A and B are shown apart, each in its own frame.
Chain A
Amino acid sequence: MADHLLEVRDLSVRFHTAAGAVDAVKNVSWHLDKGETLAILGESGSGKSVSASAIMNLIDIPPGEIVSGSILFEDRDLLAISAEEHRKLNGKRISMIFQDPLSHLNPVYRVGWQIMETMTAHGRSRDEARKRARELVARVGIPDPDAALEKYPHQFSGGQRQRLMIAMALALKPDILIADEPTTALDVTVQAEVLALLKELQAETGMGLLLITHDLGVVAEIADRVVVMNAGEIVEEGTAHEVYHNPQHAYTRKLIAAAPGKGDMRSGGSERPVLLEARNVSKTYGDFTALENASFKLHAGQTIAVVGESGSGKSTLARTILQLEAPTGGEAFWKGRNLFDMPSKELFGLRRQMQMVFQDPTQSLNPRMSVFELISEAWAIHRDLLPKPRWKERVEELLVQVGLRPEHAKRYPHQFSGGQRQRIAIARALALEPELIVCDEAVSALDVSIQAQVIALLGRLRDELGIAFLFIAHDLPVVRDFADDVIVMQRGHIVESGTAEQIFNRPREAYTQALLAAGLDPDPDVQAERRRQRLQAAV
């Protein structure tokens, strides 16, 4: 019976929503052993987080309902014990870290106090707790631990906050650590460090690590075994190596095939006329330099990817060129005319030639407008483009073009899934028949398989309509087989630029190399090899 550290058996959870009952998970069973890392892999809505929530007693009942199943931890059924017993286990024996550490740290308390609270809540003395907190903060690699304990959460970077969360979770030496998308909100280089830290800590303490993720790369890097979930059911289970190299289920195969960065790389486009040229574009906010002397040339029909981690100035570059922000220096030429000192009337005419697709379609589509209103607004603004009687027909045409159905025009954005919403945003951008579309992290918020579909759509539009793209991303593999040229940015500067082939195969700058090395390959073997090399380099 007690041969596993934790065992979930036949768990079914149902949520009673206004739209009827939804089975979040159906008959899910898995187990976790001591010192093992189990990854639950799934896309959004697959129910991957639900079993972890059940373990921690975090499911709201109602609307949730546990239909069947049991969760065994030390011969006890966690679904049968009282809330008070749960409280004794949570944080002490089983603890959890979350995706967004900022929202899980209380902004009004010092972090030292918050780490100590975990321990004092479980009956440790204050002195003991303080000593342990200092030890933990030093262990998770925060510089100057004594000072760090006295700081507030906002004074740390995202990666450091996740380290603090880990310190807090490990305060009482739990047997099980549940990590729900622990690195999704972090930059690639930081992600690699946090995963490495988790791995080290696991080796030290021998705890079981349950990792919930949507990212094959994370699985490849850290997991021993993996459980693949789709639509509330486990479709496949096995070692990370087995599942990647010999997937049994069609869904797993689809997921692995959708991982970006495996196709042929593109090149060229530079023989066509220059569409947009930026010369030494700069933007400062007070004393802070967001962008300094950025220069590039974009040719008609060409795709340039701008890649960088958060705070690298890549979005500022796009926003400055589109005149959403006033530049503080430099020039940008659209077909030879300077955008930055153009009268607003002329700029209005140019607006329709350059369009933008934003990161989060939930926010970039006005929730109170129907799809028809959203798309046709472009023609209401630029009245000479299309006579009103033709709007309906053209909206339907555009919807078909982006892979939706004509009757979707009557619906509102919230009635679509994330991927469909991004298609609407693309249709809206296409409505003005632009020559340039700026995609600001346009696929970052989407699931991998949806991401692949949207990128395929953008690629098709590029080939059919000859649209040029300025494609902003934080993730290198995504742009590998989509971009002609790649610009790598760091701290407001362009570090390196060149063709995709050159950047990916022969990166010159150390930062580009670091960025490429930090990216996680979905193949566990490749990741194991990289880990070995890293260790050697460290020695």
Chain B
Amino acid sequence: MAMSETLPTSEPVKTSEPGAVMRLAKMLTRDRFALVAAIFLVIVVLCALFGPALLGDAATAQNLRGRNAPPFAFERGWLFVLGADALGRPLLARIVVAAQNTMMVAAGAVVFSMTVGATLGLIAGYAGKTISQVIMRLADVIMSFPSLLLAVIVLYILPPSVTNLIIVLAITRIPVYLRTTRAEVLEIRERMFVQAAKVMGASHLRIIFRHILPVVAPTLITIATLDFAFVMLAESSLSFLGIGIQPPDITWGLMVSQGRPYLTSAWWLAFWPGLAIILTTLSLNLLSNWMRIALDPMQRWRLEGRTKSDKAGETSNG
């Protein structure tokens, strides 16, 4: 139906132009969920940066009299507010300290796989048939191989360190980004504004980075945030198999798997680190949702407060 005809074609525009950072901050306050998510993520990042230095000792100090101490018992001090693990170590301190390894592995793997996947995807989508075929078949090989099996083999050969873990997890996730990017590029490269850039004599690099990548980016960011949770859990299953992060190093995933045998008797061992994982991914999702809108000029008005005076600046058609 031609219903859309009746909607206004031009949106009111803000006339004043504050700095980009200020504008983003303002837009963040418009979306309350995204604001809370952003604050939570800042806390997680701060924990990751300073946690090991501040609470490193507390997190590893064993206290066998306080084994599996229940949460919300304050007689042992605030560090034990979330309870203690099987060796009597305070869970709160351990979660704070584990944030560093968890974030490093998850963020490292996601950034690495997204960068490589998106680059290869852009090449595969934009370049000729042969190169595209080679890249896509490589992706098929990775995808047809069970990722856990690949991780087991690689980590059996290489020593299990944070770097190796990141590389292994990243490689198994590359095809997701690669295929999505390529599919989008194939469509976007035929769009008129890409043709228009070609007419102006734009180089391939300019077309890819200035015209195609910004359109693909929101999709990639959305996948990345979803992948963040996946990588955290994959890391925990590797840790569970004994080829991931090795104790005494800790991650949230490792804590969940360490708490698993006690699920029936001491639920808090697995619950708190699990909650940390959930809240982090949830926050990332909310924030990425906000970012998708904030970075899209067509959607941005949803987050920008409007007043009557803004509308007065509107111009007539034609």
- Tell me if B206 is interfacial: C-beta within 8 Å of chain A: yes
Does the CB pair B302–A49 fall under 8 Å?
A: no
On whether A453 and B318 interact (CB within 8 A), knowing A47-B6, A49-B1, A366-B193, the answer reads: yes
Contacts of B187 in A (CB 8 A): none
Q: Is the CB of B318 within 8 A of A420?
A: yes
Comparing A163-171, A404-412, A506-514, the segment that makes contact with chain B is: A404-412
Establish whether residues B10 and A355, one from each chain, have CB atoms under 8 Å apart when the complex forms: no
Of the listed stretches A11-19, A135-143, A148-156, A233-241, chain B binds: A11-19
**In the assembled complex, which residues on chain B have CB atoms less than 8 Å from the CB atom of A378?**
200
Contacts of A449 in B (CB 8 A): 318
- Which of B73-81, B210-218, B257-265 binds A? B210-218
Cβ of B301 under 8 Å from chain A:
yes
Check if A82 is an interface residue, CB within 8 A of chain B: no
Cα of A417 to Cα of B10 in the assembled complex, Å? 6
Chain B residues with Cβ below 8 Å from A354 are 199
Q: Which residues of A contact B12 (CB under 8 A)?
A: 19
Contacts of B318 in A (CB 8 A): 417, 419-420, 449-450, 453
- What is the minimal beta-carbon distance from B6 to any residue of chain A, in angstroms? 4
Q: Is A24 in contact with B10, judged by CB distance below 8 angstroms?
A: no
Interface residues of A in 93-125 (CB under 8 A from B): 98-99
Report if A471 contacts B (CB, 8 A): no
Distance from B19 Cβ to chain A, minimum over Cβ atoms (Å): 14
Asked if B315 and A405 sit within 8 Å, CB to CB, the answer is yes
> With an 8 A cutoff between CB atoms, is A528 at the interface?
no
Q: CB-defined interface of B188-211 with A at 8 Å, one 1/0 digit per residue?
A: 000111011111111100100011
B247 interface residue per 8 A CB criterion: no
Please tell me if the beta carbons of A44 and B5 are within 8 angstroms of each other in the complex. Answer: yes
A50, CB-defined interface residue at 8 Å: yes
- Whether A412 and B196, one on each chain, are in contact in the complex, defined by CB atoms closer than 8 angstroms, is no
**CB neighbours of A453 from chain B (8 A):** 318
- Interface residues in A393-449 by Cβ distance below 8 A to B read 405, 407-408, 410-412, 414-420, 425, 428, 432, 449
Task: State the Cβ distance, A180 to closest chain B Cβ, in Å.
Answer: 6
Interface status of B57 (Cβ within 8 A of chain A): no
Number of B residues, CB within 8 Å of A: 40
* CB-based contact A18/B302 at 8 Å: yes
How far in angstroms is the closest Cβ of chain B from A369?
8
Residues of chain A with a CB closer than 8 A to B13's CB: 410-411, 415
B200 contacts A377, CB within 8 Å? yes
For A425, the closest partner residue in chain B by CB is: B196
Knowing A18-B301, A410-B17 are in contact, say whether A324-B2 is a contact too (CB < 8 A): no
Query: Provided the pairs A377-B197, A420-B318 are in contact, do residues A15 and B192 lie with their beta carbons within 8 angstroms?
Result: no
B200 touches A358 (CB 8 A): no
- The 8 A CB mask of A42-60 against B (1 = contact, 0 = none) is 0011111110010000111
Q: Indicate if A536 sits at the interface (CB-CB under 8 A).
A: no
Distance between Cα atoms of A108 and B152 in the complex (Å): 46
Interface membership of B11, Cβ < 8 A: yes
Q: Are A15 and B7 in contact (CB under 8 A)?
A: yes
**B297 at interface, CB cutoff 8 A:** yes
Tell me which residues across on chain B come within 8 A of A251, comparing CB atoms: none
Mark contacts of B1-42 with chain A using CB atoms, 8 A cut-off: 1 yes-contact digit, 0 otherwise.
111011111111101010000000000000000000000000
Chain B residues within 8 Å of A53, by CB: 1, 3
Q: Contact: B297 with A414, CB < 8 Å?
A: yes
Give every chain B residue within 8 A of A232 (Cβ-Cβ): 6
Q: What is the bound-complex CA distance between A40 and B215, given in angstroms? A: 39
Given contacts A53-B3, A417-B10, contact A367 B201 (CB under 8 A): no
Q: Is the CB of A58 within 8 A of B211?
A: no
B317: chain A residues within 8 A (beta carbon)? 45, 417, 419-420, 450
Partner of B198, one of A324, A411, A418: A324
- In this assembly, does B298 line the interface, its C-beta being within 8 Å of a C-beta of chain A? yes
Measured in the bound complex, the distance between the Cα atoms of B200 and A324 in whole Å is 11
Q: How far is the CA of A64 from the CA of B11 in the complex (A)?
A: 19
User: What CA separation (Å) do A356 and B202 show in the bound complex?
Assistant: 14
* A358:B192 contact, CB within 8 angstroms: yes
Given contacts A58-B1, A360-B192, A368-B296, contact A45 B199 (CB under 8 A): no
Which residues does chain A contribute within 8 Å of B192, judged by CB atoms?
A: 358-360, 363-364
| Contact across chains for A351 and B2 when beta carbons are under 8 A apart | no
Residues of B contacting A99 in the complex (Cβ-Cβ under 8 angstroms): 2
A86 to chain B, nearest CB (A): 15
A134 to B298, CA, bound (A): 48
Q: Which residue of B lies closest to A24 (CB)?
A: B6
**B6 and A432 contacting across the interface, CB-CB below 8 Å:** no
Query: Who on chain A is nearest to B15 by CB?
Result: A407
Residues of A close to B297: CB separation below 8 A: 367-368, 370, 412, 414
B188 to chain A, nearest CB (A): 10
Residues of B within 8 A of A416 (CB): 9-10
Question: Is A352 at the interface (CB under 8 A from chain B)?
Answer: yes
Residues of A close to B195: CB separation below 8 A:
324, 356, 358, 364
Tell me, rounded to whole Å, the shortest Cβ–Cβ distance linking A304 to chain B: 18
Select one of A181, A381, A407 contacting B203, CB under 8 A. A381
Whether the Cβ atoms of A49 and B200 lie closer than 8 Å is no
CB neighbours of B211 from chain A (8 A)? 366
| A438 CB → nearest B CB, Å | 8
Task: Compute how far the CA of A275 lies from the CA of B193 in the bound complex, rounded to whole angstroms.
Answer: 26
Q: Which residues of chain A come closer than 8 Å to B200, judged between CB atoms? A: 351-352, 355, 377-378, 381-382, 428, 432
Known contacts A49-B2, A450-B318; A322/B199 CB under 8 A: yes
A17 CB, nearest partner CB in chain B, Å: 6
Q: Considering the chains assembled together, what is the distance between the CA atoms of A167 and B64 in angstroms? A: 85
Nearest residue, chain A, Cβ from B2? A49
Could you list some 15 contacts between A and B, CB below 8 A? A19-B12, A45-B317, A180-B2, A348-B201, A355-B200, A358-B192, A360-B192, A363-B192, A364-B193, A370-B297, A381-B202, A381-B203, A405-B315, A417-B318, A449-B318
A interface list, Cβ under 8 A from B: 15, 17-20, 22, 24, 44-50, 53, 58-60, 64, 98-99, 180-181, 212, 232, 322, 324, 348, 351-352, 354-356, 358-360, 363-368, 370, 377-378, 380-382, 405, 407-408, 410-412, 414-420, 425, 428, 432, 449-450, 453
Top 8 A-B residue pairs of the complex, sorted by shortest distance between their CB atoms: A351-B201, A363-B192, A364-B192, A412-B297, A24-B6, A417-B317, A49-B2, A366-B193
Listed in ascending order, the chain B residues whose CB lies under 8 Å from chain A are 1-3, 5-13, 15, 17, 191-193, 195-203, 206, 210-211, 214-215, 296-298, 301-302, 311, 315, 317-318
